[in-house]
Structure 1
Amino acid sequence: MDSIQSHYLFPAAAIALVGYLLVSNVLAYRRLRHFPGPLLASWSYLYMIRVWLSGRQSAGYRGLNAKYNSSLVRIGPNDLITDDPEIIKRMSGARSKYVRSSWYRAMKLNPYDDSLFSMLNVKEHDKLKATLSFGYGARENPGLEQGIDEQIEQLVDLLRRSYISAGSTLRPMDLGQISQFFTLDALTRVAYGKAFGYLTSETDIYGYIKASEALAPFLVLSGEIPLICKVMFSNLVLKIVGPKTTDKKGMGVLLDVAEQMVSRRFDDSYSNKDHNDMLGAFIRHGATQRQCRLEIPFQIIAGSDTTATAIRGTLLYITTTRSVYDRLQKEIDEGIASGRISSPIRNEEAKAMSYLQAVIYEGVRMQIPFTGLLMKEAPPEGDTINGMFIPGGTRIAHNTFAMQRSAAIFGDDVSIFRPERWLEASPEKFREMTTVVEMVFGYGRWMCAGKTVAFIELNKIFVESKLYWQPNLSDSTEYNFVDAAVAAGYSVLNYDRIGVGSSSKVDALTDAQFQVEVAVLNSLATHARESLHATKIALIGHSYGSYISAQSAASSGPVVDALVLTGFSGTFAYFAPFVAGAGFRVARIQDPERWGSLDPGYLTSSDLYAETYFTFAEPYFEHRVADWTYGVASEPFAVGELPSLLATTVAYENITAPTFLLQGQFDVSACGGNCVGVLDSIKGNFSSASVVETVDNLPAGHNLFLHKAAPQAFGMVLDFLKQQGF
């Protein structure tokens, strides 16, 4: 009998298992059978696993809602996904009956307990968020903006110290890594009063980043597949492979740091001290030692990575979209010139810069900082949306990528990085687009508490790093005086005179006057001395700008400590060859795409050959540089500039600052193509200058800094400044 029973036992068990799986799959299929979706998703998690294995989760789900023409599409036995912002609002509102699903259970970097982000209990979540929210605002955390400013300065110092290429020395930088070092230091500084030192060491301290990158895919898989979550976060598995405070690297070290940091704050000898940081605000408003300890790991890793992703992506789009770069640079330059931008820029000042805000929001839309599914769970009684019943307990995911590429919301050119869409939008459309983009940080009661800090960092990083990102001419470091000066340890403020480049296009005859332009430079020099506390100021001018610089130095007196004039001869005896060679044309007619908005008083050269004739000298330049200069960098000049200069007697004799006159030997514009001896002949005009040095034999034409001799010229200028005590 026993043998007969054992003979049938295994087949019977197998049949029972198959029957159980069959019934389970049928029930799973029936549960959400009225929703469209891939066949695999109707009875198993194989579809979600396939998307996870692709390594491109956001792209894997992006087109589903459009493909099935439904705002709710099935992606698993108990799982839907939506690209409808209104459904997101419905699930996340303050009075919504939806709750966080099991997906959040896997989103805890301390696997033994819940942080604010992984907490499922709604009442406990709301209570803790109310307590912690004070730490993310400037009122209760007065060191918030200052702390970020300090790390901006550290970042700029790092760029200046380690990543400014000079001459043939190329110093490439891993922007992806450096951006995360910045956000990690910024976050730890404002959260705990002291940066961890990533920017100083330029290393992944304790392997936090490497550990989080290795852990992230498994957290994603655990969140999406409930059975895997139960296994991965079971007590047995955690006991065997979970992080421990005794670990020497990775997440265990992070848990240990959190424990030590919080324990110190709650120590009796420390408890009476008030700390102007997030942790201090948490404690002041009643957060327990355990709650503080649980928040730190998630803040450090998740909070820094999302902002770093936004910085990387947005900078990539800025530096590869010339029109955006130029317009953003113009807004920054105008803000600095008008005094609307401090150094470092204040958050409120950045928020008032309309194009900067458009760039930031467009950057976040295009390079989404976080694309997790953020699954919510339908209430026990279920819900009906768009006439379709959703059974209680169903998980509904955010299709964030699809929402950010919605043509209905953002326009038909939704796949293009175009910040102008934000400036063109009506107030109603602007509010709609803003709400949808901010959904990458969650919505309503589930909105990320750190969103404010993230936007402060974004508001500052693109303005403060402007001088160090110069995407003009490929392989152009040898022609970049700003980079050379910064590498030598100097701070640089470069600007375009009115009517030119990024500055306002004023009336070419009545406003673009030499005297007005001198007054502008005087104001900038005074601002640098009195407001920016510059210890020494050198004016460095080129061509027409050299005459402006000379007159400014003559009228500003002790405000200017040195004067460098290039493309300058101090005489207009060679004006005729310059005019004849340029073949001037009305700029708006010559190139309506670039200059169609200018008035007829702005002139430009007739063609590439004309401009090359009076600005370059064969064979001392690269033709690609001349092509770029004419097609990209050249700017028209106003008819009022030269007559107003000719009508002015530049007071060279009043210049007291040490002066360096530097000239290309073959400069047609300044000295008819043969400059040897010209500068020495006018040297006596600078009778009050303590030092006057001249160089007029460099192998170059008028655009001295765009010839092959540019590095040599840079070296001469910087050596002169050093000799004057700079």
Structure 2
Amino acid sequence: MTAFAEGFQALVQRDLTWTLMPTVATVIIVAWIIRSTLHLRKIPGPWWAPYTRLWLFRALYSERCADVYLQVNRKYGPLVRIGPNHLITNDPLTFRKILGVQSKYTRGPWFDALRLDPHNANLITERHRQKHDALRAKMAPGYQGKDIPQMEHAIDRNLLTWLDYIQKHAVTTQERHVAFDMARSIQWLLFDMVCHLCLGHPLGFIDQHEDCYGFQNVLETRLPIVEKFAIFTEVNTWIKMISHIPIVRRVLPSPKDKDGIGAIMGVAQKTVNARIAQGIPPKHNETMLDSWLRNGVDGSLAVTEVTIALFAGSDTTATSIRALLLHIITNPLVYKRLTDEIRNAATSTPIITERETKSLPYLQACILEGLRIFPPITALRERVVPPGGDTLNGVYVPEGTNIGLNLPGLLRNEVFGPDVDVFRPERWLEATAEQRQRMDRVHELMFNWGSTRCLGIRLAVMMMGKVVVEVLRRWDVVALRPQRPWRSRCHGIFLQRDFDVRVVDMEGTVR
């Protein structure tokens, strides 16, 4: 009788458990929804953003997330909720607070998606503050040119090779009409420039004028996938867990690959091995790689850093140059004023010097305005609110909240005037001293701030100035399709092609 009673009781409990499971699951889901709704309830945003990360996914999937981010801040204000635990800001004071040297904010799991190796971070992806700052100190002299007096000479050599290519293959004459894809060509130029600075020699992108090693193709096919991992960060954790499995390791970039990112890593690996075997050259007679190794960067990490420099440094600068040229050649007033300044200036030949580009005020105004109207980075680069939470824009934000930095929105701040959506370089020359200071304070945040401020600012601005000057003092450039000048896809950075232009001798003569 006792055994029967115990069996019956167990049966009842089992059936009761199965009966209660849906109820328990429902309670858990409802509790999660309530928490998702309430913990950031005072912050406005799209009505469905508190319940799912699909709002963010849709923004990225549209390939126009820069416009989406810009509009969401304009609609809801400087601090907007765009996910269950995700905010976005375009407020300069919040940018400065989050990125400041004394800030307690940390890099969020978004950065893990950019790792080439799930188990090893680099300068861009390192989330630990002290480790990042230590690595940054080792790499800064190379990026800033302090250890490389021949930095400008290396840039000039590659620029001359590129200009010669255009003269031979891209200039329209009476005998030929050329639709020249300036977007792709500038990409090849920047790849070789960065390779030369890092490794001591270009890799043939300019000479062959094609995607050597399939590097660009891999970026364009994989980047749209990788950026989704930055939203669904659980994927990064899974990849890290299973990455030791041999079949999974084969999917990750490897120096043994014959093309793509891995192939570039292979070239870098050979150069690193050669440098270590031969010994680093004397100081002030070296490449960026030499500088990094001399300053204590590990050889295996240096391989990754070369690849990241090629990816992050070349693409962003290429986008900045493409966008600047597009806005110049499609604006007759700007085009006339800038070409007059360039062609009437007494500057060095065959390539203008960095110092001379800084002496051309309208050119510098165009560079500032080009970066403002079309910033090359749109990724949110989320930071995490520190323990204890914080108050932003008068609203308490709990600790652990991810806050994305809306760079396109920041650079359309009212400080730049009532016509922030217009490319107008004159705003930088017409501003009073006080206005100019306020504009500069906002504009400088596009390169990050504090301990994460971009190390390649000098390089980027130098390259922009030199390329624009040397193109416009040699030729006139016309967009072949001003109503649809290029194909531009936004995936945190821009993937651009089909920027077809007509290059002719100055004043439009064809000979």
Give me the TM-score of the superposition, normalised by structure 2: 0.87
> In 2, are the aligned partners of 1:344 and 1:464 still within 8 Å (CA)?
yes
> Could you say which structure has the greater relative contact order, defined with CA pairs below 8 angstroms and 6 or more residues apart?
2
Question: Equivalent of 1:115, from 119, 122, 130?
Answer: 122
Q: Which residues of structure 1 form unaligned runs of 5+? A: 476-481, 485-493, 495-632, 634-704, 715-726
Who is 1:241 aligned against?
251
Who is 1:376 aligned against?
383
Q: CA deviation at 1:165?
A: 1.7
> In 2, are the aligned partners of 1:113 and 1:294 still within 8 Å (CA)?
no
Q: Which amino acid aligns with 2:236?
A: C
Who is 2:232 aligned against?
225
Who is 1:171 aligned against?
178
SS at match of 1:63: helix
Who is 1:270 aligned against?
279
Q: Cα–Cα, structure 1 residues 382 and 472, in superposed 2: closer, same or farther, change >3 Å?
A: closer
CA distance in 2, matches of 1:435, 1:180: 30
CA distance in 2, matches of 1:106, 1:140: 31
Question: Equivalent of 2:138, from 131, 150, 153?
Answer: 131
Once the two structures are superposed, residues 383-425 of structure 1 have per-residue CA deviations (whole angstroms, 9 ceiling, x without a partner) of 112321111111111111112222x121111111111111011
Who is 1:319 aligned against?
329
Once the two structures are superposed, residues 573-598 of structure 1 have per-residue CA deviations (whole angstroms, 9 ceiling, x without a partner) of xxxxxxxxxxxxxxxxxxxxxxxxxx
Question: Equivalent of 2:31, from 23, 42, 52?
Answer: 23
Residue 457 (str. 1) matches residue 467 (str. 2): no
> In 1, are the aligned partners of 2:280 and 2:290 still within 8 Å (CA)?
no
CA distance in 2, matches of 1:257, 1:304: 17
SS at match of 1:164: coil
> In 2, are the aligned partners of 1:369 and 1:440 still within 8 Å (CA)?
no
Once the two structures are superposed, residues 484-533 of structure 1 have per-residue CA deviations (whole angstroms, 9 ceiling, x without a partner) of 7xxxxxxxxx7xxxxxxxxxxxxxxxxxxxxxxxxxxxxxxxxxxxxxxx
Q: Which amino acid aligns with 1:262?
A: V
CA distance in 1, matches of 2:264, 2:11: 58
Question: Equivalent of 1:33, from 24, 37, 41?
Answer: 41
Who is 1:428 aligned against?
434
Q: CA deviation at 1:365?
A: 1.4
Question: Equivalent of 1:283, from 289, 293, 307?
Answer: 293
- Larger CA deviation: 238-247 vs 188-197: 238-247
SS at match of 1:389: strand
Residue 257 (str. 1) matches residue 263 (str. 2): no
> In 2, are the aligned partners of 1:254 and 1:297 still within 8 Å (CA)?
yes
Q: Which amino acid aligns with 1:412?
A: P
CA distance in 2, matches of 1:443, 1:431: 16
CA distance in 1, matches of 2:28, 2:80: 26
Give me the TM-score of the superposition, normalised by structure 1: 0.62
Q: CA deviation at 1:363?
A: 1.0
Aligned length: 478
Q: Cα–Cα, structure 1 residues 448 and 10, in superposed 2: closer, same or farther, change >3 Å?
A: farther
SS at match of 2:350: coil
CA distance in 1, matches of 2:433, 2:111: 35
Q: CA deviation at 1:14?
A: 4.1
Who is 1:144 aligned against?
151
SS at match of 1:318: helix
Who is 1:438 aligned against?
444
Q: Which amino acid aligns with 1:20?
A: I
Q: Cα–Cα, structure 1 residues 473 and 196, in superposed 2: closer, same or farther, change >3 Å?
A: closer
> In 2, are the aligned partners of 1:106 and 1:233 still within 8 Å (CA)?
no
Q: Which amino acid aligns with 1:446?
A: T
Q: CA deviation at 1:199?
A: 0.3
CA distance in 1, matches of 2:332, 2:303: 46
> In 1, are the aligned partners of 2:199 and 2:268 still within 8 Å (CA)?
no
CA distance in 2, matches of 1:125, 1:321: 42
> In 2, are the aligned partners of 1:371 and 1:440 still within 8 Å (CA)?
no
Counterparts of 1:461-472 in structure 2 under 5 Å? 461-471=467-477
Q: Cα–Cα, structure 1 residues 97 and 472, in superposed 2: closer, same or farther, change >3 Å?
A: closer
Q: Cα–Cα, structure 1 residues 113 and 472, in superposed 2: closer, same or farther, change >3 Å?
A: closer
Q: Cα–Cα, structure 1 residues 84 and 474, in superposed 2: closer, same or farther, change >3 Å?
A: closer
Q: Which has the larger radius of gyration?
A: 1
CA distance in 2, matches of 1:16, 1:168: 78
Counterparts of 1:11-90 in structure 2 under 5 Å? 12-68=20-76, 70-90=77-97
> In 2, are the aligned partners of 1:104 and 1:374 still within 8 Å (CA)?
yes
CA distance in 1, matches of 2:478, 2:280: 54
CA distance in 1, matches of 2:213, 2:338: 38
- Larger CA deviation: 223-232 vs 327-336: 223-232
Q: Cα–Cα, structure 1 residues 388 and 257, in superposed 2: closer, same or farther, change >3 Å?
A: same
Q: Cα–Cα, structure 1 residues 264 and 13, in superposed 2: closer, same or farther, change >3 Å?
A: farther
- Larger CA deviation: 195-204 vs 460-469: 460-469
> In 2, are the aligned partners of 1:26 and 1:43 still within 8 Å (CA)?
no
Residue 193 (str. 1) matches residue 200 (str. 2): yes
> In 2, are the aligned partners of 1:111 and 1:242 still within 8 Å (CA)?
no
SS at match of 1:241: coil
Q: Cα–Cα, structure 1 residues 469 and 431, in superposed 2: closer, same or farther, change >3 Å?
A: farther
Q: Cα–Cα, structure 1 residues 248 and 8, in superposed 2: closer, same or farther, change >3 Å?
A: farther
